[in-house]
């Protein structure tokens, strides 16, 4: 096929030899199958800001680090330079997240290069060597649904242990690869430690998975993996190998009513003692005494 203009610089630089076909078009980017030497890979071409439909981008960018203070000030002021830097940072965020997650053992496409607003990465394939379908294109058995759900919860935990939350996870951005589900589409990836919306986004990601897989295995709809995972993370007890239950233990320890009553009585006795002291001092001096 005729190469898109955005891929021409990579062809000129020798990074791409041939554009085979368009693979998909999403709200953020166009994805093409390309040939690089003897390898077949993906080229993700990010759309310009005015062509994208992804909303509330600011909420996802909170806590992301920038190169320097000048860049940060320009972004905050919304200058032309700042908007350009912000756009480049948004586009490069996926490449950064993929490198970080791949190193942490998370099942994501292997990134190879990011240049001129184009991300070159692994083409995820199914057992027959074809481009892997998205989960929403499949009909699953209850057993397959439980297995895929368990695998993805494991991936979500590994991501969080690496400090990353997907932020937009659903059946539409998980591929059914030959070795299991592969998580894709991460330009909005959230910094777990630096974003005030991190907890809500993690739980939404996990709830999306429960809702989708619950269509095939209804018992998954009542699980609470999101709350359990975040509670362990907050307490510094979450590790990639952590065994989860999908349940939050309820507090069964009875309230210490006697202890509360003792505290109330002690406070009442202290107040009564202060009042007696005040009255005694007033009798001795005939001058009102203020007791704090």
Predicted pLDDT at 279: 73
User: Residues 174-225: pLDDT tens digits?
Assistant: 999 999 999 999 988 999 998 999 999 999 999 999 999 999 999 999 999 9
Mean pLDDT on 111-123: 94
Q: Which residues, in sequence order, are CB contacts of 78 under 8 Å at separation 6+? A: none
**Is the per-residue pLDDT at 93 higher than 70?**
yes
Asked if 160 and 173 touch (Cβ cutoff 8 Å), the reply is no
Q: Which of 79-83, 84-88, 226-230, 267-271 has the lowest mean pLDDT?
A: 79-83
Mean pLDDT on 73-96: 70
For the chain, which residues make up each domain, given as ranges? Answer: 5-234, 256-292
In whole angstroms, what is the distance from residue 124 CA to residue 129 CA? 9
Predicted pLDDT at 170: 97
Asked if 118 and 6 touch (Cβ cutoff 8 Å), the reply is yes
Give, in words, the CATH class of 5-234: mainly alpha
Q: State the DSSP string of the chain.
A: -PPPGGGHHHHHTTS-SEEEEEEEE-SSEEEEEEEETTEEEEEEEEPPGGG-----HHHHHTT---S-HHHHHHHHHT-HHHHHHHHHHHHHHHHHHHHHHHHTT---PPEEEEETTEEEEE--B-TTSSBPPBGGG----HHHHHHHHHHHHHHHHHHHHTTEE-SS-SGGGEEEETTEEEE---TT-EETTT-TTHHHHHHHHHHHHHHHHTTTSGGGGG--HHHHHHHHHHTT---TTPPP-S--PPP-SPP-HHHHHHHHHHHHHHHHHHHHHHHHHHHHHSS-----
Length of the chain: 292
User: Residues 11-43: pLDDT tens digits?
Assistant: 999 999 999 999 998 878 899 999 999 999 999
User: Residues 222-272: pLDDT tens digits?
Assistant: 999 999 999 999 999 999 999 999 998 755 556 667 766 777 777 777 777
Predicted pLDDT at 201: 96
Tokens of 17: 């030899």
């Amino acid at each position: 096929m005729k190469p898109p203009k955005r891929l021409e610089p990579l062809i000129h630089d020798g990074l791409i030899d041939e554009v085979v076909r368009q693979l998909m078009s999403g709200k953020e980017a166009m994805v093409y199958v390309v040939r690089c030497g003897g390898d077949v890979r993906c080229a993700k071409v990010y759309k310009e800001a005015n062509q994208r439909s992804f909303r509330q981008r600011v909420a996802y960018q909170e806590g992301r680090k920038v190169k320097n203070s000048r860049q940060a000030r320009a972004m905050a002021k919304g200058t032309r330079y700042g908007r350009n830097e912000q756009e480049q940072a948004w586009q490069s965020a996926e490449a950064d997240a993929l490198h970080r997650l791949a190193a942490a053992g998370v099942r994501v496409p292997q990134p190879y290069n990011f240049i001129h607003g184009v991300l070159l990465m692994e083409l995820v394939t199914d057992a027959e060597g074809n481009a892997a379908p998205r989960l929403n294109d499949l009909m699953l058995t209850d057993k397959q649904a439980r297995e895929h759900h368990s695998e993805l919860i494991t991936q979500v935990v590994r991501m969080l242990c690496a400090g990353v939350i997907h932020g937009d996870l659903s059946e539409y951005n998980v591929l059914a690869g030959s070795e299991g589900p592969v998580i894709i589409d991460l330009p909005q990836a959230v910094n777990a430690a630096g974003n005030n919306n991190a907890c809500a986004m993690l739980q939404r990601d996990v709830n999306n998975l429960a809702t989708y897989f619950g269509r095939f295995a209804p018992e998954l709809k009542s699980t609470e993996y999101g709350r359990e995972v975040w509670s362990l993370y907050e307490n510094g007890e979450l590790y990639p190998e952590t065994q989860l239950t999908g349940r939050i233990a309820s507090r069964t320890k009875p309230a210490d009513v006697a202890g509360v009553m003792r505290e109330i009585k002690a406070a009442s006795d202290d107040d009564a003692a202060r009042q007696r002291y005040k009255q005694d001092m007033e009798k001795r001096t005939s001058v009102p005494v203020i007791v704090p």
